[in-house]
Structure 1
Amino acid sequence: MVRERSCNEQPLIARTVIFSNGTYANLTGVKARLRPDDWLVCADGALSQLAAMQLYPHLLVGDFDSVDLSLLERAKEQGVELLTFQREKDFTDTELAWQEAIKRKPGGRDV
C-alpha cells in the first residue's frame, strides 16, 4: 500500500547529488552513477553539464551569471525550482547549493 503524503510534507530524499560548474571528463560515467530517486541540485553553470546528460535538476541555485539563458528557460519550462541570488554575495554558488541541500535534508549523510 502506498501512503499518500500531504502537500506540506517534504518528499523523502534518498540521496542528494550536487553539481558544480566545471568540466566533467566522463558524463556517461556520472550519469551511470545516478539513481532514479536522487535529488539533483545544480549550482549555476553546471546546468550545461546536466543538459548534456539530458537531465534537469530538481533545484537550480545561483546568480545565473554563467548559465546559458536558453538552458535556464528550458529548466523553467521543465518545472525546475530556482533559487536566485545577487552577484555580490558572501558565498559561491556551490556553497549556496550545499547550504540549501543541508537545510532541506538535515542530518543527511548522503549529500
Structure 2
Amino acid sequence: MGYEMPTVVSIEWDFGYSSLLVDRSPGVIGVDDRAPAELALSPDLIRRLDALLTRHERIYGHWVQQSMAGVEDDTAQERRDMADLQAETLALAYEVQHELGGSVVVLVDGHPLRS
C-alpha cells in the first residue's frame, strides 16, 4: 500500500515518539508518528522540529524525574522553560501548516490552529 498524505497532523510529544508530527487523520488507528521528511517539509523546518523534539524530551524528562522524586512545585525557571517550549511548539505548528497548505489540518493540544 502506498503512502498517503495525512489530512490531519497533530504536533504532539510523548515518550518513544520519533517525531512531533503524528498522523491523526480519520481512520488512523493508534499512534502513527511521521518523520518531517515524509511530509516534504523544508530542510530548515525539519531541523527545527528535530531540535524541538530534543527540547521536549529534555524538559518533560526532567519534569517526570522531579515528579517521581516527590517534587511537587515547579521552579520559576521550569515554568519559563515550559512556557517557552509551548510558544515554540505553537510557532512551528503554524510553519508546518504553512508548508503543508490548507488541505491538511494541523492540531496543537488536540485543537486546530486558528488562522
Given the two structures, how large is their TM-score scaled by the length of structure 1? 0.29
State which structure, 1 or 2, has the greater radius of gyration over its C-alpha atoms: 2
User: Given the two structures, how large is their TM-score scaled by the length of structure 2?
Assistant: 0.29
